[in-house]
Amino acid sequence: MTTLDQFAISGRSALVTGAASGIGLAYAETMAEAGARVTLTDIDGDAAEREAERLRGQGYEARAARLDVADRGETAAVFDGHAAAYGGCDICFANAGIDPGAGFWDVSGTRNPEGQVDTFDPARWDRTIAVNLTGVYNTIRDSVRIMKAAGRGGSIVATSSNAGLVSEPIVGMAYMPAKAGVLHMVRHLALELADFRIRVNAIAPGPFVTNIGGGWVKKDPAVRAAWDAIVPLGKMAETDQIKPLALLLASDAGSYITGAHVVIDGGMMLGKFK
């Protein structure tokens, strides 16, 4: 087997949450392009179906389902549907996440009155934790259930963030503990599931251009410029730049990688001194 052969995932099946746009859509496209049969799930079921239809139009095998990952019963039903359609689940991207609202600073470095710990909307806290942390647990729980039943192992990749490792003052505070929780969950589950040949890893993206927060990075040049300015490589990433890493972790090319947190942030966590 050549090195390139190890990246092949033809015939395997993959389920991606939060797949109607952004990083989740990039994951789904990567899986389809590499030969996997893909279920795109999203709370916006119509958008997920449009993207699945586009992939089918390009000759790939794809289906879609509406999914709120915070709803445990809904998550179980969607995984059952995926397994029935594709004979199991070999790859799962636990990616769905939401914007938590404003942080305690705005992009200009002044305090945001709505983002302080004593003013932050508790309902935003509850929903962010429900989707960004508990939703990852729900997703992984059902993927493991399906993978164990099939008995052929699998790969689970959770989307965390470099905000799980360092604080980002312009991001709502619920985001940091949720993403940090994802990182630790990945460490724990990688150890638990190794005996079943189920690998569990996390991708920790830095600043990517996506629709999170209503697409504010795309809409507001000042926000985009503020992020570009703190990235050592000079600019925010486009979602296509995450595709090779996703394929590495999903495929046999990553067969000896588990419990890892792979930061992909243009060097932002290193700091910038110019």
Residues labelled catalytic: 175
The whole-angstrom separation of Cα 262 and Cα 120 is: 30
User: Contact at 8 Å (CB) between 17 and 91?
Assistant: no
CA-CA-CA-CA torsion sign (140, 141, 143, 149):
positive
The whole-angstrom separation of Cα 141 and Cα 145 is: 6
The whole-angstrom separation of Cα 33 and Cα 157 is: 18
The whole-angstrom separation of Cα 249 and Cα 238 is: 19
Place of tokens 């595709």: 243
The whole-angstrom separation of Cα 149 and Cα 269 is: 40
Task: Calculate the dihedral angle through the C-alpha atoms of 98, 101, 105, 111, rounding to the nearest 10 degrees.
Answer: -170
User: Contact at 8 Å (CB) between 93 and 14?
Assistant: yes
User: Contact at 8 Å (CB) between 95 and 141?
Assistant: no
Compute φ and ψ for 64, nearest 5 degrees.
Answer: -140, 155
The whole-angstrom separation of Cα 217 and Cα 105 is: 16
Nearest Cα neighbor of 27 from 184, 188, 139 is 139
User: Contact at 8 Å (CB) between 96 and 42?
Assistant: yes
Nearest Cα neighbor of 97 from 187, 166, 12, 181 is 181
